[in-house]
């Protein structure tokens, strides 16, 4: 039986480290049984990342792009997107590719269940909602290898603790990925990490202002070139 959202713990606006640990452990306990539970997944993410997101919010306030995001708080949650309209945009554009990305996989964008209460929570929400944009702009696939490469890229680009924890938990993944030995796996993750560290920080980029922009152009502007593998 799924955990009820009515019993979902909440984080106060400025949680102490003890509170974040307590709530994070409560969320993790549920996720061990229901790993795809969106409400508890978001709660665990916020518990782990809220300190970094507060620092990112302060950084946003220092430049125009970030200040506009914090002032307007645009959302990329599923219910705010018109996927049919995006699919009518020119082939190769961000919007068209984004819509096809979900249609082809039979999936929907993430749905944010609770509105953010402050700037730090907004940044955390924004990072969750833009995960799939990072797949598109980096070119990393949504298979197991691609997901781990994106986590390594994100660790290099945004220094997210959740990315580090995921990579740590999957250190033995090469044993379960056909065609990759441990050395190859480590090489690809290190390359993705370096690529993330050499790319523009993606946290404050306004994807919704670029629906009609060719995805190829955004890749050139935002991310370092991907290494070529044999």
| Amino acid 1: pLDDT | 44
Alpha-helix residue ranges (DSSP H) falling in 61-110 = 64-72, 83-87, 94-105
> What mean pLDDT is predicted for residues 169-197?
82
Number of domains in the chain: 1
The whole-model pTM stands at 0.86
Q: Which two tokens stand for residue 87?
A: 């699919």
Instruction: Quote the pLDDT of residue 177.
Output: 62
135 within a domain of the structure (yes/no)? no
How many residues can be counted in the chain?
Answer: 230
Average pLDDT over residues 64-93: 96
Q: In whole angstroms, how far apart are CA 163 and each of 110, 122, 151, 226?
A: 18, 19, 5, 19
61 within a domain of the structure (yes/no): yes
Q: In a 10 Å sphere around its CB, with 0-12 CB exposed, 13-18 middle and 19+ buried, how is residue 68 labelled?
A: middle
What does the pLDDT read at residue 28? 76
Asked whether residue 18 is domain-assigned, the answer is: yes
In a domain, 194, yes or no: no
Q: Which residue has the tokens 């044999």?
A: 230
Q: Is residue 91 part of a domain?
A: no
The confidence score (pLDDT) of residue 206 equals: 96
Within a domain: residue 62? yes
Predicted pLDDT at 179:
66
Whether residue 174 is contained in a domain is answered as: no
For 44, the domain range is 9-72
Residue 39: what pLDDT?
76
Of the chain, the percentage scoring pLDDT greater than 70 comes to 91
What's the pLDDT at 228? 80
- Which is more confident, 104 or 113? 104
Assigned domain for 53 exists: yes
Residue 230 has a pLDDT of 61
């Amino acid at each position: 039986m799924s955990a009820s959202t009515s019993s979902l713990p909440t984080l106060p606006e400025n949680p102490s480290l003890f509170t974040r640990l307590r709530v994070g452990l409560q969320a993790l306990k549920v996720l061990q049984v229901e790993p795809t539970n969106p409400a508890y997944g978001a709660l665990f993410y916020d518990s782990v990342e809220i300190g970094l997101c507060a620092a990112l919010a302060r950084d946003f306030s220092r430049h125009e792009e970030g200040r506009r995001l914090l002032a307007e708080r645009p959302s990329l949650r599923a219910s705010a997107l018109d996927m049919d309209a995006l699919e009518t945009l020119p082939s190769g554009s961000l919007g068209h590719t984004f819509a096809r990305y979900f249609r082809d996989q039979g999936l929907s964008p993430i749905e944010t269940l609770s509105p953010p209460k402050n700037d730090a929570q907004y940044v955390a929400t924004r990072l969750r909602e833009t995960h799939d944009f990072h797949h598109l702009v980096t070119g990393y696939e949504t298979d197991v290898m691609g997901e781990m490469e994106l986590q390594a890229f994100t660790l290099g680009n945004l220094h997210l603790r959740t990315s580090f924890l995921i990579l740590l938990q999957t250190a033995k993944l090469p044993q379960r990925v056909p065609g990759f030995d441990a050395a190859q796996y480590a090489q690809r993750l290190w390359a993705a990490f370096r690529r993330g560290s050499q790319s523009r920080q993606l946290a404050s980029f306004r994807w919704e202002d670029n629906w009609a922009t060719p995805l190829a152009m955004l890749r050139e502007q935002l991310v370092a070139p991907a290494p070529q593998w044999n």
